[in-house]
A and B are shown apart, each in its own frame.
Chain A
Amino acid sequence: MIAQAFDYAAPKTLDEAMTLIAAGAKPLAGGMSLIPMMKLRLAAPEQLVDLARVKDLNYIRESGNQLHIGATATHYAVESSALVRAKCPLLAAAAASIGDVQVRNVGTIGGSVAHADPAADYPAALQALDAQIVIRGAKSERTVSAADFFVDAFTTALETGEIVREIVVPMEDSSTSYQKAPQPASGFALVGVAVRVRKNGDRIASARIGVTGLANKSFRASAAEKALEGTAGTAADVQKAAALVPQGVDANSDLHASADYRKHLASVYAARALTAALS
């Protein structure tokens, strides 16, 4: 549990950080995934750029009808922010279900998103929220939707030299819920389902279902969403839609849950999340 030697820089500005990253340094946010890997020598970056002192990466603010969350906002900051709780409770709920309080005090939203662990909690919520990920490169910025950002296990749309700068989520009047079956050792999601539904009168006008833990990447359960839209959201509608969530998914299997069980959990937790959101 002793890391290899590495250089360490902790610049105060994003420009300085980006210059070092462009030169090949590895960005360090909360370090909740990177540091253990380094201690086990599974990772051995030559240089770390600690983003903790870059003030303009650590914020939560509203602008128009959107919430902007800086990459180094901690899970605890997101979970406890009055603004997030009031305007985007789904994101606060996902943050609150991450790991344990020690991890949430240090881990960051940008770090988690960039790491793209297939069982992380945020991606489910970001998929359901149609979140935008603002990516900063050496010279320019671009914005990618959550759906396009998560490519595969630990693989994102980030190119070499780019970092996640900001997460943008909508503030809107919708009903949401995040429901998760935690793996007992790690606290990661065996399966986690985030839903966001909006009703128009007594009909569901739009439904968004983000799933994590089930497959190699988080995804939106589009078939289930479509099945739900236009219905009254009765218990039967919910069950029907929830059953579609794992359909056709190449589910992961490990020591803690087989692919079959994961798929089953995905249906169960989708139904629970939908029921909670609709109630």
Chain B
Amino acid sequence: MKISGTYTLPFPRERTFALMQDPEALARAIPGCEGLQHVGPDEYKMKMKMALASLSGAFEGKVRISDSVPPESFRLIVEGSGRIGFMKGEGLLTLAAVEGGTDVSYDGEAQVGGTMAAVGQRLIDGTAKMMIKRFFEKLAAEAAS
């Protein structure tokens, strides 16, 4: 499944870029994330709990950042698997300075497997959108901190 979109964050580009590479900020923003653990350069182990409607499940996975071109762009790879299935998302994030903040455009692919994939087809698109929205909203909230 292709995912793409743009979200405006209320920070200057440099600050936005730094924030999006900060494991603590990412951990706070990734929905259901219960912590990131540094395991290598730009690579983190992640524990995540997903709860959506009556669906719930724990995932373990990895977050990886690559192709970093500060403060313009980087590639974000998120993988997780748990008993109810697995998911993988990979996308290029591009940052552009705009008035009052930074436009973060994302363009990538998401893949879901296991039981989730089979039963959640009509929900996956909406869910992905919702999670991305929550992610950016949480990041935006970092402005206050």
A277 at the interface (CB under 8 A from B): no
**Cross-interface CB contact of B55 among A43, A183, A215, cutoff 8 Å:** A43
Give the number of residues in B that approach A within 8 Å (Cβ atoms). 22
Q: Is B98 an interface residue (CB 8 A)?
A: no
In the complex, the answer to whether B119 meets A153 with C-beta atoms within 8 Å is no
Per-residue A-contact encoding for B22-57, CB less than 8 Å = 1, 0 else: 000000000000000000000000000000111111
How would you classify the secondary structure of chain B's contact residues: helix, strand, loop or mixed?
helix
Inter-chain contacts of A101 with B (CB < 8 A): none
Residue of B52, B124, B133 contacting most chain A CB atoms (<10 Å):
B52
Q: Cβ of B54 and Cβ of A115 under 8 Å apart? A: yes
Q: Looking at chain A's contact residues, is the secondary structure mostly helix, strand, loop, or mixed? A: loop
A113 interfacial by beta-carbon distance below 8 Å: no
A6 interface contact, C-beta 8 A: no
> For B129, what are the chain A residues with a Cβ–Cβ distance below 8 Å?
153, 216, 250, 252
Q: B127 an interface residue at 8 Å Cβ cutoff?
A: yes
Q: A43-B54, A154-B52 are in contact. Are A254 and B125 (CB under 8 A)?
A: yes
Nearest A residue to B123 by beta-carbon distance? A153
B116 proximal to A (CB < 8 A): yes
Chain A residues 225-279 with CB under 8 Å of chain B are 250, 252-256
A257's nearest neighbour on chain B, judged by CB, is: B122
In the complex formed, the residue of A with least CB distance to B118 is: A40
| B115, B119, B121, B123: most-surrounded residue (chain A CB, <10 A) | B123
Interface size of A in residues (CB-CB distance below 8 Å) = 32
Chain B residues near A45 (CB, 8 Å)? 54
Which A residue's beta carbon lies closest to that of B5?
A250
User: Are A255 and B53 touching (Cβ within 8 A)?
Assistant: no
Mark out the residues of chain A between 135 and 189 whose CB falls within 8 Å of any chain B CB in the assembled complex. 152-155, 183, 186, 188
Which residue of A40, A42, A155, A254 is within 8 Å of B122 (Cβ)?
A254
**Which B123-142 residues sit within 8 Å CB-CB of chain A?**
123-127, 129-130, 133
> In the complex, given contacts A41-B115, A153-B130, what are 5 additional A-B residue pairs having Cβ atoms less than 8 angstroms apart?
A40-B119, A42-B54, A42-B56, A42-B57, A215-B126
Query: Which chain B residues have a beta carbon within 8 Å of chain A's beta carbons?
Result: 52-57, 83-84, 115-116, 119-127, 129-130, 133
List 26 A-B residue pairs with CB atoms under 8 Å apart, sorted by A's residue number: A37-B54, A38-B54, A40-B115, A41-B84, A41-B115, A42-B54, A42-B57, A42-B120, A43-B54, A44-B56, A117-B53, A118-B123, A118-B126, A153-B53, A154-B52, A154-B53, A154-B123, A186-B122, A215-B126, A216-B130, A252-B125, A252-B129, A254-B121, A254-B122, A255-B121, A256-B122
